[in-house]
Amino acid sequence: MGMDVSTLRTLISRYCVGEENWVDSRTIYIGHKEPPPGAEAFIQQRFPDNRIVSSKYTFWNFIPKNMFEQFRRVANFYFLIIFLVQLIIDTPTSPVTSGLPLFFVITVTAIKQGYEDWLRHKADNAVNKCPVHVVQHGKVIRKQSRKLRVGDVVFVKEDESFPCDLVLLATSRDDGTCYVTTASLDGESSHKTYYAVQDTKAYNTEKEVDLIHATIECEQPQPDLYKFVGRINVYMDNEPVARPLGSENLLLRGATLKNTQYIYAVAIYTGMETKMALNYQCKSQKRSAVEKSMNSYLVVYLCILISKAIVNTVLKYAWQADPSRDEPWYNDRTESERQRHIVIRAFTDFLAFMVLFNYIIPVSMYVTVEMQKFLGSYFMMWDDEMFDEELGERAVVNTSDLNEELGQVEYVFTDKTGTLTENNMEFIECCVDGHIYVAQAICNGQVMPGSASMDMIDTSPGPGAREHEELFFRALCLCHTVQVKEEETVDSIKQGIHQGKSTSFYISSSPDEVALVEGMKRLGFTYLRLKDSHMEILNREDEIERFELLQVLTFDSNRRRMSVIVRASTGELYLFCKGADSSIFPRVISGKVDQVRARVEHNAVEGLRTLCVAYRPLSLVQYQEVCLLLNGAKLALQDRDKRLAEAYDLIEKDLILLGATAVEDRLQEKAADTIESLHKAGMKVWVLTGDKMETAAATCYASKLFHRNTQILELTTKRTEEQSLHDVLFDLSRTVLRHHGGWGRDISGLSGDYTDYGLIIDGATLSAVMKPGQEDSNSGNYKEIFLEICRNCSAVLCCRMAPLQKAQIVKLIKTSKEHPITLAVGDGANDVSMILEAHVGVGIMGKEGRQAVRNSDYAVPKFKHLKKMLLVHGHYYYIRISELVQYFFYKNVCFIFPQFLYQFFCGFSQQPLYDTAYLTLYNISFTSLPILLYSLVEQHINMDILKKDPALYRDIAKNSLLRWPSFIYWTVLGVYDAIVMFFGAYFLFDNTTFTSNGQLMTTNTQMMFGNWTFGTLVFTVLVFTVTFKLALDTHYWTWINHFVIWGSLIFFVVFSLLWGGIIWPFLNYQRMYYVFMQMLSSGPAWLSIVLLISAGLLPDVLKKVIWRAMWPTTTERIQMFAGLGYVPALLDNADKLYKGQLSEFTPLDRRRSSSTNRSRPNPTRSEPFNKKVMLTRWQRPPDYRTFTPLLGFTDVKRSSKQGAGPETCV
């Protein structure tokens, strides 16, 4: 067992460090049968069972493990220390005051995490106990999935999922193939073909399969879904026959069998060693900017706390230096305590003061923030405007911890295919030796009559050209991995070959291939089926042609091409190859290259996806050499991929060019409007795609990423071949800096005239830029120059990008000196790396499955939903949580600073100002619900206005509401309110006199004077002041706001009446008895409460009025207009803003004057928005962004009857 654990540890360590070239193997005995005598040594290895474990805790380790994780948080650990100090030493407050809030926070968090883990346990049990069918002794038996072992032969039926990683032995189809969907693994929802082992595919029954005698040697488990290296030794008459095994033979756990009745396969990786389990990667913990600000503020307040404790400790001993001011007798200090060393006494007093002031650190803030994020995420998921009827999907929140980060995005990185476009391919045209064939109606530029159902073929070319034409069509009918489904419906896959005829449907892992095969059908060549290793084609004479499929050289992203080798019925051998123009043209030795290249470039500029097609006739000798080369590479256990790549490179050469195809991938609905809105909001949008430059650039123009007046800067391989990379970078740098004058600029279009730049860079050039060190000593740092160019471009297009390069680009921007907030959006498995790298990852629920969605923080059905997610939900989330964080620190300063001042009046005796119940319930009950509700429903600006005017997003950019000036303002305001509360109450008790029964009474209020009366009065003013402060900050009022805000105040009053009106038998003191009622019985006390609350709120009100009058933000102007009843006009004018007719917000009664300004041309991108005029009755119209709100006060009386609706403004 020790060896197994160490082996597993070694495996895990190797995967963690990414040791890709490490190779080791395992031997699997099919059906647990020993090899024949003398064949090889029988060494039965031990493998894990098939149990999947995704849960975090067990019944036994939940409490200790969860407690450990929770107390790793600084705030929780701090309060635990304070609680222990209260237990150990004599402190002025009860341990309950710290222990109860801490217990509440820990318990709520533990229940939440325990429930989530219980759901994981439940899901694990459902998977582990599901039945599977296993072949044993010639019979199929059922057993639980968790009891499956490596070497078991598994029987799987159609539409069932594979219980572990399997090597395919036999299928119900004669050719030994089966069809599988792997959407749950890699996001590809289309069908893929897998192949049975050549020597076992004929075994079609349980008894026959049980007779298989073979062993499998393969690599140890590793997480790459697309890589598998192994070989099978099948014993025929005790002699082993070796066959290669690759990823085309491996069925992965979680994939589903389709269009095949049943299969037999052997288990090779089980349980946590399956590729699906190895891809359960723990995402790196993403922390929002708000959370970082919270931690910074926490450190500041911790320093303030320690300073307070030190100051009080020093002053206490300075006060007690006079013998007449020693501690009074009623403090019950024993002689032993008096005789302690002064250092020990001072340290004890320091801890006691720390305990007394510890409430300045708001422990309940963390649980409130968690609840706000968790509950707030449902508003996005419930948003009907983000529901897509076509897909039947809503927005999904996978990580609510980053809600507020949606309001801080500065860079958006987006994929093109399937994200900006629909990933719904349509065949447009093909070019054969310069002759153009356009879908349905046009051939060689001429409209063809009677071509409604089928594209017409131009018969004018000569015999040679006609032969090339037919060879081109046959090549596209043969060079693919398309399958044919002979049914009406196919799992939501693209269907329909004949118009009005539902005969058969094409299925493929690539939508491009389906579009090409369907296009060939419309041109007269129909691919029928693959049967017995023969591909059948129906030509335009309705004759069936059969080609034997000999080899498939599969597509990969490095080669960017695929090939097939076929034998015609005449015996001729052909290699057909199709791929990207950049990978085909260099391998072509003949053909009309110039004509085809010109057409490819023309189609790319039009935004079409292009492929080139070529062929090579093979002699029998050449084919035998090809087979020898491929078999040698396929049987290799080490460096198989490298050897296959070398073999493919040798085979795919000396090609003859046939032609090219063009397929259209249309832009998604409102994609252009979304990108334009993101630009106006101040975000830079980058498109990262694997497509060729011309195609991607055309899409960028269509989506308004680039505009007609955008000056395009190219940083591509073509240009770096003409000049050195160093020279190109410095030329581009000089170009952009000459116009924008130095580091950085505002690309929003709101500041001055400028030339709009767009940058295009390809993957090869990016690799050179990202190279850690350049040989040229004069080159400097290429990354910094590249970043400087990018900063001065309004948009960037990165084409020919590998998935890893996408992540590198995101990381480069993310770690630059400005540390901007990045968002990556994509729809496929190739986008996962950049989604995980960005601060916020968004998955699109496209046609490439759910891999991106599962790895993202948020998922939306379409790209257009990104607009509302950022401009509305992100805006609201940030505003709400910013107020929550600042308000929590503010109300705790108000709460604890009077306690600090009180020590100057009680001889620094650590006497609490407030009762224990008030200390405990202040943050838990009296002030927690109003701010929680505010942080869930506050809408400081109408939702429609936020969508209409994206520029409002700028008001909250760069964490503007949580910067240090704002933090200092809230802290100073809290200190001011605390001083007003304390000294206001203090002066009420200034003149006191004894009553006849010996009680102390104030002469000015006729109220009995005492420590708890004084503290209760301060606490009452405190609760009402901080609650009214939140009410003043609330713009969006609903009945829930009213209920919670006024209800919390009523609850405080009722609690205080009950707490002081009843003698509670479980308390060992009754110091609060009748205190609250007696305080309320005094009329002057009521007046003083009102005056102190007003005095506390007055500076904040004055600051807001003066600030909005003198230096208002755009948001505050809109709030003012909304308060005057101009919401319909705001919406109407914001809509016209997009058409360039009006400035953002023209008052309703000013719109008539617009006719006098019709001669003014519409603004363009070179004309910044701040130059738009506000159309008013004045002769010289002022800019609304510099329009002083005080001038609008003349309309207040006239507009007062309209009411403020649901919003209130200060």
Active site residues: 415
Which residue spans within 299-402 are E strands per DSSP?
396-397
Token pair of 185 as six digits: 């693994």
Q: How far is CA 958 from CA 411, 683, 857, 878, in A?
A: 12, 11, 21, 11
Token pair of 319 as six digits: 């006060």
**Best CA proximity match to 750, nearest among 833, 681, 676:** 681
Q: Strand order of the sheet with strand 214-219?
A: 25-29, 214-219, 230-236, 239-245
814-840 per-residue burial string, b: 16 or more CB within 10 A, e: under 16? bebeeebbbbbbbbbbbbbbbbbbbbb
For the chain, the farthest-separated pair of C-alpha atoms sits apart, in whole angstroms, at 129
Token pair of 221 as six digits: 């488990």
Token pair 């993101």 is at which residue? 678
Do 1093 and 1021 touch, CB atoms closer than 8 A? yes
Q: Strand order of the sheet with strand 153-157?
A: 139-144, 131-136, 153-157, 262-269, 165-171, 250-251
Which secondary-structure segment (H or E) carries 242?
A: strand 239-245
Question: Residue 275 and residue 1156: Cα distance in Å, rounded?
Answer: 70
For 215, which DSSP code?
E
Token pair of 547 as six digits: 């080609």
Alpha helices, DSSP H only, in 1062-1195?
A: 1075-1080, 1083-1110, 1114-1123, 1127-1137
Do 591 and 657 touch, CB atoms closer than 8 A? yes
**Best CA proximity match to 1007, nearest among 1091, 1090, 1082:** 1082
3-state secondary structure 912-958: CCCCHHHHHHHHHHHCHHHHHHHHHHCCCCCHHHHHHCHHHHHHHHH
Question: Residue 885 and residue 99: Cα distance in Å, rounded?
Answer: 22
Q: List % helix, strand, coil for the chain (3-state, nearest 5).
A: 50, 20, 35
Question: Residue 364 and residue 1188: Cα distance in Å, rounded?
Answer: 41
Which secondary-structure segment (H or E) carries 843?
A: strand 840-844
Do 457 and 443 touch, CB atoms closer than 8 A? yes
Rg over alpha carbons for the chain, rounded to the nearest Å, is: 37
Q: List 656's β-bridge partners, or say none.
A: 590, 615
Phi-psi region of 667 (alpha: psi -120 to 50; beta: other; left: phi over 0): beta
Phi-psi region of 741 (alpha: psi -120 to 50; beta: other; left: phi over 0): left
Exposed / middle / buried, residue 763 (Cβ in 10 Å: 0-12, 13-18, 19+): buried
Q: Strand order of the sheet with strand 256-258?
A: 191-195, 177-181, 256-258
**Best CA proximity match to 555, nearest among 491, 480, 455:** 480
Question: Residue 209 and residue 812: Cα distance in Å, rounded?
Answer: 54
Q: How far is CA 281 from CA 49, 163, 215, 824, 855, in A?
A: 20, 20, 31, 19, 9
